[in-house]
A and B are shown apart, each in its own frame.
Chain A
Amino acid sequence: MTLTRDSSSWRALIVDDKVDNLKLATLVLESRKAKVKAISESQRVFEAIAEFQPNLILLDLAMPGLNGWEIQRQLRARPDLSSVPIIALTALSMEKDIQKGIEAGFDCYVTKPYRSELLIAQLTACIGQFIDGLS
């Protein structure tokens, strides 16, 4: 399904080691009709991508084992995922973290905690930019 600004077109893969956060993000995105797959074991991300075929990936950054930075680095190297925006959804809200995230090539950097409307608005804006950037 093609990714649009309309959240019902989103197939979002969410990776976060904190199950509570996974649940919240799932709740917010699903409330907007998005298809969501949430995984808390980061090393399973590639498997999940292959299985779920997301058109949007939200990564927590600070995770044990394979962290969000590493995952993003690997995913960005994959041509088959070049049309999938990868978004940081993290509690790392220091300016230098944000800077680092932008530099690393995250398509959007959203800090926790977030309010549902704000998250959707940010994601919508980000995805809009991403789609504009692709076309």
Chain B
Amino acid sequence: MNDIPSRRLLPVATLFPLVIAWVCLKGQQAGFYNAEFGLALFALANVIVFATLIFVVSRSLNHLDMQRSSAMQALQAAHDQLDQHVQERTLALAQANKALENSERLFRLLVNSVRDYAIFMLDTSGNIVSWNTGAEHLKGYTAQEILGQNFSRFYTPEDRAANIPQRLLQIAEREGHFVGEGWRVRKDGSRFWASIVLTAIRDEQDKLIGFSKVARNLTERMERERQLRFHASLQEAATDAVIATDMNFVIQSWNKAAEHMYGWREHEVLGKLATEILDTRFPPELPREQVLRSFHENAFWSGELTQHHKDGSAIAVLGSTVLLKDEHDTPVGIVSVNHDITSRKQAEEALRLSEERYRNLSSVLWDYACSYHYLNGSYEAQLEWVVGAFEEITGHSIEEALKNFSLGTPIHPNDQGIFRQRQEKLHSGQDDISEFRIINKRGEVRWLRSYGRPEWDATRQAVTRVYIGVQDITERKNIEVELAEERNRLRTLIDTLPDFIYIKDMQHRFLLTNIAHARARGCASPDELIGKSDFDFFPHDMAERFQDEETEIFRTGQPLLDYEQPSKGNAGGFVWALSNKVPIRNVQGELTGLVGITRDITERKQQAQALEIALKRAEEANRLKSEFLATMSHELRTPLNAIIGFSDALSNHLAGELNERQQEYMQIILNNGEHLLSIINNLLDISKIEAGQFELNNTAVNIAGLLDHVKRSLQSLADIKGLSLLTMLDEDMPTSIMGDDLRLKQIIINLVGNAIKFTQTGSVKVCIIKIDASNWAIKVTDTGIGIPPEALEFVFEQFRQVDNSSTRHYGGTGLGLAIVRQLSLLMEGSAQVQSQLNKGSTFTITLPLTKA
């Protein structure tokens, strides 16, 4: 408590009894207590108040005394000090003035010599009034150049436009100074990042007299800061997890990549054990102890391991761990950089699978694919990649080919042109599909079908690579060639055939035909018919008829064979056509059309008709000839009947006796009549045989009877000439055979009659001989004049006799032997003669033997 309140309390103390008295009275009136208690209370209160007052005043008086004495002492001391101070100040002022002078000199020196800081003064409107070396260095202006110029020229045009320099001056004037950073411009126009301090300078009257400006180039610092920030962000932005732990693997830092990679946020893992969080496991061949030992020895470990994501999934990790040491080489922590190689592992697996697939694929492919790389833009190309049956096809091993294989397999000489064109096409950037032959390393000719696709370089200036797919089509080509040859042969065949050959579909349209047909339809080539139908070539009703018959074939599935019908010919004329139409089925057995062969048989028809007519005419002629023969026979016989009949009748005295001469002459008439009759009979026989009208009977013939008849018929003739007529029957001969009795008699009688005629003395012998089981013979042997050898060959010919005179000498028509031979032939036998002149002849008729 100070003396002031104490002093003021004294006057106030007089009022206390009054206040206490009023309070006590009021309390009594209110009935809180009675008058006695009130009085006592009043007295007590006064005593307490006044005692307190006396105590406070006394303390205050003491205090005032103490203050007064100390103040007196202080006053004395101050006075002493002041004297001393005045002395010191006087000295100091002198020193200070000196120091100030020094300081200002040093300051100017300093300011001028500072290179890193541009320090210059401005007047109140910003014009430069001083310029130091640093400014010269920083801004590029010399003092002479810049003094008096406005400082705003150091600012960028953008800043100047925004009136920044003036505003900065205003801020500095108002605030005392301005501190900031910003781009500034050098004399040469280049920019630098500057930190500046702009300070207002005022005189003693606080009047603004100018500004000082200190600028510093912070470009480098900014760059460093930028780099620092970059590194920091780099760590944060690193794709690899960067984890720092202390020596006990307690996590100290955990970057964004780690968060991303493991799923744990930084705040979740800080302070926790990395080994537990990550559940790190090493590969089986690399025990944890070995890793730790290696790490401690080398302060570094790198390798693949497995860690785990927050969700428990395994992560393949390539980890690098470094031991951090302080400057005393004491280990202080561990930093791990972990790279997630799960996808790489998956990619490796995928690659492995792909390679395996590729190997398997190669082993099952019949074809191959490859790529070539063009060397220096030339046509020369180097094989760089192959898959498939390359070795099988080319005979070169892939290894060998990859080293040195520039399309080295020789192209077949005949396909060089195709191959060259293909190379040019590919080289010019076009796709190509070609087929050509190679002669492979084993010397085999292989047909290849090659698909090529060029690849441009990035600038699309040149083709750098071609991809090629090669099919070995040798087999197909061989078959194709074979088929083509076969087709060609068949084509030639059907085009050579004069018949019309065609194949029609179910709509009756021509699918194929040949030249003969095309010509018949008035077309230059078979192709012109393809797709057309009969309606394009034939009158409507005819085409309809053809179509109907084909529809029937399609309906029944049955072919139409050897069908003759009228058709239209080449020049539109009528022809006869012979058609065969056969349905065709595909491999499923479904009808797909028909194959037809039509032949123009008009000529054949005409020939047949002509033949028919000719045959009719021949038949007619034959009939006429037969009639003629019959008529002739009749007409000749009729007068002969009178001649022979009357001469015979007269000879037999039917019309009276004749004298000897008459009798003789009548006999001459009769003989000549008989001779004429035999000539006529023989002529008719020959004519009938030649006309094929001679029919043989086939009845049982008794051979003995036959011989007997001959003997009886001719015995008298033989007797007249004094010849013996002998007959001999082979005992092996069946008694009865099948044959024509009449004609057999005619043969024997002719032969025997002939023999008698040409035999003067001796005998005529008739023998029947069985030659073998199926042949028998009639032999007539005489002892007559015989036949000269030169005449033997034609004794059986008609109208031939050994000499012309013989006819006159021996008589006869010259037809007897001819008839014998003709009858023998009719009986499917033969007639031979053996003869010796003047000794005799033997005629042998050999005939087939059929027992009756």
Chain A positions near chain B (C-beta within 8 angstroms): 18, 20-21, 24, 27-28, 31, 62, 90-95, 97, 111-117
Asked whether, in the complex, the Cβ of B652 is within 8 Å of the Cβ of A117, the reply is yes
Q: Majority SS of interface residues in chain B?
A: helix
Closest chain-B Cβ to A49's Cβ sits at a distance in Å of 24
CA distance A111 to B640 in the complex (A): 12
Is B134 an interface residue, CB under 8 A from the partner?
no
Residues of chain B with a CB closer than 8 A to A62's CB: 634
Closest chain-A Cβ to B784's Cβ sits at a distance in Å of 29
27 contacts between A and B (CB under 8 A): A18-B638, A18-B642, A27-B646, A27-B649, A28-B645, A28-B649, A31-B649, A62-B634, A91-B634, A91-B635, A91-B637, A91-B638, A92-B633, A93-B633, A94-B630, A97-B630, A112-B637, A112-B638, A112-B641, A112-B645, A113-B641, A113-B642, A113-B677, A114-B641, A115-B644, A116-B648, A116-B652
- The list of the 4 closest CB pairs from A to B, nearest first, reads A91-B637, A112-B641, A113-B641, A113-B644
Identify which of B630, B638, B643 gathers the most chain A CB atoms within 10 Å of its CB: B638
Is B673 an interface residue, CB under 8 A from the partner?
yes
Known A94-B629, A116-B648; further 5 A-B contacts with Cβ < 8 A: A21-B641, A24-B645, A91-B634, A92-B634, A113-B642
What is the 8 Å Cβ interface bit string for chain B, positions 672-707, against chain A (1 contact, 0 not)? Answer: 010001000000100000000001000000000000
Is B497 an interface residue, CB under 8 A from the partner?
no
CA distance A27 to B637 in the complex (A): 19
CB < 8 Å neighbour of A116 from B638, B639, B642, B654: B654
Asked whether, in the complex, the Cβ of B634 is within 8 Å of the Cβ of A113, the reply is no
Asked whether, in the complex, the Cβ of B655 is within 8 Å of the Cβ of A111, the reply is no
Asked whether, in the complex, the Cβ of B645 is within 8 Å of the Cβ of A114, the reply is yes
Residues of chain A with a CB closer than 8 A to B633's CB: 91-94
Residues of chain B with a CB closer than 8 A to A92's CB: 630, 633-634
CA distance A97 to B642 in the complex (A): 21
Closest chain-B Cβ to A51's Cβ sits at a distance in Å of 26
Residues of chain B with a CB closer than 8 A to A116's CB: 645, 648-649, 652, 654
Please tell me the number of chain B residues within 8 Å of chain A, measured between CB atoms.
25
Number of A-B contacts (CB under 8 A): 72
CA distance A111 to B643 in the complex (A): 14
CA distance A42 to B62 in the complex (A): 228
Asked whether, in the complex, the Cβ of A31 is within 8 Å of the Cβ of B637, the reply is no
What is the 8 Å Cβ interface bit string for chain B, positions 73-117, against chain A (1 contact, 0 not)? Answer: 000000000000000000000000000000000000000000000
Asked whether, in the complex, the Cβ of B637 is within 8 Å of the Cβ of A113, the reply is yes
CA distance A116 to B647 in the complex (A): 10
Residues of chain A with a CB closer than 8 A to B635's CB: 91
- By beta carbon, the residue of chain A nearest B681 is A93
CA distance A113 to B648 in the complex (A): 11
CA distance A6 to B695 in the complex (A): 37
CB < 8 Å neighbour of B638 from A21, A115, A117: A21
Identify which of A20, A113, A116 gathers the most chain B CB atoms within 10 Å of its CB: A113
CA distance A112 to B633 in the complex (A): 10
- By beta carbon, the residue of chain A nearest B670 is A115
Residues of chain A with a CB closer than 8 A to B673's CB: 113
- By beta carbon, the residue of chain B nearest A17 is B638
- By beta carbon, the residue of chain B nearest A91 is B637
Closest chain-B Cβ to A130's Cβ sits at a distance in Å of 23
Residues of chain A with a CB closer than 8 A to B642's CB: 18, 20-21, 24, 113
Please provide the chain B residues from 491 to 520 with a CB less than 8 Å away from any CB of chain A in the complex: none
Closest chain-A Cβ to B14's Cβ sits at a distance in Å of 214
Closest chain-B Cβ to A75's Cβ sits at a distance in Å of 22
Asked whether, in the complex, the Cβ of B637 is within 8 Å of the Cβ of A24, the reply is no
CA distance A113 to B639 in the complex (A): 8
CA distance A97 to B626 in the complex (A): 12
Asked whether, in the complex, the Cβ of A115 is within 8 Å of the Cβ of B630, the reply is no
Asked whether, in the complex, the Cβ of A113 is within 8 Å of the Cβ of B645, the reply is yes
- By beta carbon, the residue of chain B nearest A21 is B641
Asked whether, in the complex, the Cβ of B654 is within 8 Å of the Cβ of A28, the reply is yes
CA distance A49 to B645 in the complex (A): 26
Asked whether, in the complex, the Cβ of B649 is within 8 Å of the Cβ of A24, the reply is yes
CA distance A117 to B644 in the complex (A): 12
What is the 8 Å Cβ interface bit string for chain B, positions 649-660, against chain A (1 contact, 0 not)? Answer: 100101100000
Residues of chain A with a CB closer than 8 A to B640's CB: 112-113
- By beta carbon, the residue of chain B nearest A119 is B645
- By beta carbon, the residue of chain A nearest B693 is A96
What is the 8 Å Cβ interface bit string for chain B, positions 597-638, against chain A (1 contact, 0 not)? Answer: 000000000000000000000000000000001100111111
Residues of chain B with a CB closer than 8 A to A114's CB: 641, 644-645
CA distance A113 to B645 in the complex (A): 7
CB < 8 Å neighbour of B637 from A20, A28, A93: A93
Residues of chain B with a CB closer than 8 A to A21's CB: 638, 641-642, 645
Closest chain-B Cβ to A102's Cβ sits at a distance in Å of 14
CB < 8 Å neighbour of A115 from B634, B645, B655, B695: B645
Asked whether, in the complex, the Cβ of B648 is within 8 Å of the Cβ of A115, the reply is yes
Closest chain-A Cβ to B735's Cβ sits at a distance in Å of 27
CA distance A21 to B643 in the complex (A): 10
Residues of chain A with a CB closer than 8 A to B649's CB: 24, 27-28, 31, 116
Residues of chain A with a CB closer than 8 A to B646's CB: 24, 27
Identify which of B630, B637, B641 gathers the most chain A CB atoms within 10 Å of its CB: B641
CA distance A91 to B681 in the complex (A): 12
CA distance A97 to B630 in the complex (A): 9
- By beta carbon, the residue of chain B nearest A95 is B695
Closest chain-B Cβ to A56's Cβ sits at a distance in Å of 18
Closest chain-B Cβ to A20's Cβ sits at a distance in Å of 4
Residues of chain B with a CB closer than 8 A to A111's CB: 637
- By beta carbon, the residue of chain A nearest B635 is A91
Identify which of A20, A90, A91, A97 gathers the most chain B CB atoms within 10 Å of its CB: A91
Closest chain-B Cβ to A120's Cβ sits at a distance in Å of 11
CA distance A111 to B630 in the complex (A): 13
Closest chain-B Cβ to A124's Cβ sits at a distance in Å of 16
CA distance A64 to B644 in the complex (A): 24
Residues of chain A with a CB closer than 8 A to B677's CB: 113
CA distance A27 to B656 in the complex (A): 11
Identify which of B643, B648, B655 gathers the most chain A CB atoms within 10 Å of its CB: B648
- By beta carbon, the residue of chain A nearest B645 is A24
Residues of chain B with a CB closer than 8 A to A93's CB: 633-634, 637
- By beta carbon, the residue of chain B nearest A61 is B634
Closest chain-B Cβ to A122's Cβ sits at a distance in Å of 13
- By beta carbon, the residue of chain A nearest B638 is A91
Asked whether, in the complex, the Cβ of A31 is within 8 Å of the Cβ of B654, the reply is yes
Closest chain-A Cβ to B794's Cβ sits at a distance in Å of 29
CA distance A111 to B636 in the complex (A): 12
CB < 8 Å neighbour of B641 from A24, A27, A94, A97: A24
Residues of chain A with a CB closer than 8 A to B641's CB: 20-21, 24, 91, 112-114
CA distance A20 to B649 in the complex (A): 13
CA distance A95 to B695 in the complex (A): 9
Closest chain-A Cβ to B622's Cβ sits at a distance in Å of 14
Closest chain-A Cβ to B646's Cβ sits at a distance in Å of 6
CA distance A112 to B639 in the complex (A): 9
Identify which of A18, A90, A112, A114 gathers the most chain B CB atoms within 10 Å of its CB: A112
Closest chain-B Cβ to A83's Cβ sits at a distance in Å of 29
Residues of chain B with a CB closer than 8 A to A24's CB: 641-642, 645-646, 649
Please provide the chain B residues from 535 to 582 with a CB less than 8 Å away from any CB of chain A in the complex: none
- By beta carbon, the residue of chain B nearest A19 is B642
CA distance A27 to B652 in the complex (A): 12
CA distance A119 to B648 in the complex (A): 11
CA distance A24 to B645 in the complex (A): 7
Identify which of B637, B643, B652, B655 gathers the most chain A CB atoms within 10 Å of its CB: B637
Closest chain-B Cβ to A103's Cβ sits at a distance in Å of 15
Residues of chain A with a CB closer than 8 A to B652's CB: 116-117
CA distance A112 to B643 in the complex (A): 11
Residues of chain B with a CB closer than 8 A to A28's CB: 645, 649, 654
Please provide the chain B residues from 166 to 216 with a CB less than 8 Å away from any CB of chain A in the complex: none
- By beta carbon, the residue of chain A nearest B653 is A31
Closest chain-B Cβ to A18's Cβ sits at a distance in Å of 6
CA distance A114 to B648 in the complex (A): 9
CA distance A52 to B642 in the complex (A): 25
Identify which of B636, B643, B645 gathers the most chain A CB atoms within 10 Å of its CB: B645
